[in-house]
Amino acid sequence: MRRLFLKLRSAVVHALAHDVINTAKAAAYSSMLMLFPALLVVTTLMAQVQPSGTALGELRSTFEQFLPPDTLDLLQSYLMSRHVHSFQVILSATSLSIFAALGVMLTLMEGFRRAYRLPSEAWSFWAQRARALLLVPMVLLPLAVATMVIVFGRQIETWMIEAAGHDLRHIVLFFWRMARWSIAIATSVTVLTALYHFGARRKEHWARVIPGALAGTLVWFPATLAFGWYVTRDENYSRFYGSFAAGIATLVWLYLTAFIVLLGAELNGALYWDRHEQTAAREAARAIAGRVETGPLRGAGRRGAAALDNTGGLAPVTPSKQASGSMQR
């Protein structure tokens, strides 16, 4: 536990040294540009699946579990006022979302590079953008699966309650909601693991990047809930920003999200360099031990022992010793 605490503290110190604060600001700005066009596309597609509007209600009920209230109100007013059926508008919103998502990935990859202390020329210009573009569907695929669970979650829940009967209704409801939360946590861990694994030039095994993904997930959920509580309870927030309060709250929430993602990368980077230093220390100790084993003194000692064994424990008599012995006689 103490070692984990020291690594977390080291990750925070390195995060400040690597200018994670400004990097998170840039990622939050690009995320703000991506958020609303992406929601427009998602809600339009979901409305095609369920035209009755149930999907939008399910989406709101899911968002209200972790989004700040002002952000939720802003999203709701945006979604209710947009009823798009034009293919050209959907295509434009999709293109803008991909362009903004590319900016988010490039910013996060820059933070990952600093976390692993790689040189700035680790990626070429086009290779970095190609990798960032590939990261977009890698992140969207788990989110799409989670979205499908959201869309059809209420229908699945109703069917399970009806099939279970009245006596087991509360038990089934409890376990199903726990399952939905587990899916949300698993989705977050999967997305972060994919980002950390493919987003840095120095590839690591999947198991090596899971600590940062778990730490980021475990920090993000309570941090989001705490920020939502603060926005709800503090009236000065709306007093300071007025009609812009909802937009500012959304931007701050995105900033917290980006900061936590980069902090998880810093933790993985600290663990990586710790393993690197331990490996280097073991190799140095092994090299020193090898030099001692094959050194001249060690070799001379072995040769002397072999000579004693050959003479039965007596020192060999040299010709000079024989001559001196005969002269004495």
312 within a domain of the structure (yes/no) = no
Cα(73)–Cα(252) distance, integer angstroms: 15
CA dihedral over 233, 30, 188, 52, signed as positive or negative: positive
Digit-coded pLDDT (tens) for 64-118: 555 666 666 666 666 565 555 567 777 888 898 899 999 999 999 999 999 998 8
Regarding pTM above 0.85, the answer is no
Say which range, 32-36, 118-122, 239-243, 314-318, has the weakest mean pLDDT. Answer: 314-318
Burial class of residue 273 in the structure, from the number of CB atoms within 10 Å of its CB (0-12 exposed, 13-18 middle, 19+ buried): middle
Cα(252)–Cα(29) distance, integer angstroms: 10
212 within a domain of the structure (yes/no) = yes
Cα(196)–Cα(324) distance, integer angstroms: 80
261 within a domain of the structure (yes/no) = yes
The pLDDT of residue 2 is above 60: yes
Which two structure tokens, joined as six digits, stand for 154? 């209420």
| Mean of per-residue pLDDT scores for the chain | 76
321 within a domain of the structure (yes/no) = no
Cα(108)–Cα(277) distance, integer angstroms: 26
How confident is the model at residue 322, as a pLDDT?
A: 43
10 within a domain of the structure (yes/no) = yes
Digit-coded pLDDT (tens) for 227-240: 877 777 765 666 77
284 within a domain of the structure (yes/no) = yes
Cα(47)–Cα(59) distance, integer angstroms: 11
How confident is the model at residue 245, as a pLDDT?
A: 75
Q: What total number of domains does the chain contain?
A: 1
Cα(131)–Cα(125) distance, integer angstroms: 10
* HSE of 244, CA atoms in CB hemisphere, 13 A: 5
307 within a domain of the structure (yes/no) = no
What is the average per-residue pLDDT within 200-216? 87
Residue 60 lies in domain: 2-291
Which two structure tokens, joined as six digits, stand for 27? 């990622």
**Would you call 234 helix, strand, or coil by DSSP?**
coil
CB burial string 87-111: b at 16+ within 10 A, e below: eeebeebeebbbebbbbbbbbbbbb
298 within a domain of the structure (yes/no) = no
Of the chain, the percentage scoring pLDDT greater than 90 comes to 22
